[in-house]
Amino acid sequence: MPLQDIRIVIQQLATPFDALKKVGVIHTDVKTNNIMYVDQTIKPLQVKLIDFDMSVFTKDAKSIRDNQVLRYKAPELIFGLSYSEALDIWSLGCVMSEMVFKCKLFPGAGEDEVVSNSV
């Protein structure tokens, strides 16, 4: 995908996070598998963020289940620190990096290896 198209897609993906923050929701599972292209023939670059199964209200953020895909997991989750809707933005950044560079931002076989590659 050309960089100009990636920019259009990322702008669309960033939009829901402002709305989610206003209503106090954290998606918690932002990853490439949760980005859906709407209709490739009619609107080839239109995407939607899907799969809100793991979403939590910001006030209930401590209840986030620790089953996010490791390569999209924010450091605060990995290290057991307090977190907020910023973890969605971290995951979005990882998705964006994968789209641009066509590889994992933080490669590794396990949590220790991924963490050492991300800090």
Q: Which of 5, 29, 60, 88 does the annotation list as catalytic?
A: 29
Q: Are 39 and 49 in contact (CB under 8 A)?
A: no
Verify whether residue 88 is a known catalytic residue.
no
* Residue ranges with strand state E in the chain: 25-26, 35-39, 43-49, 56-57
**Looking at the annotation, which residues are catalytic?**
29
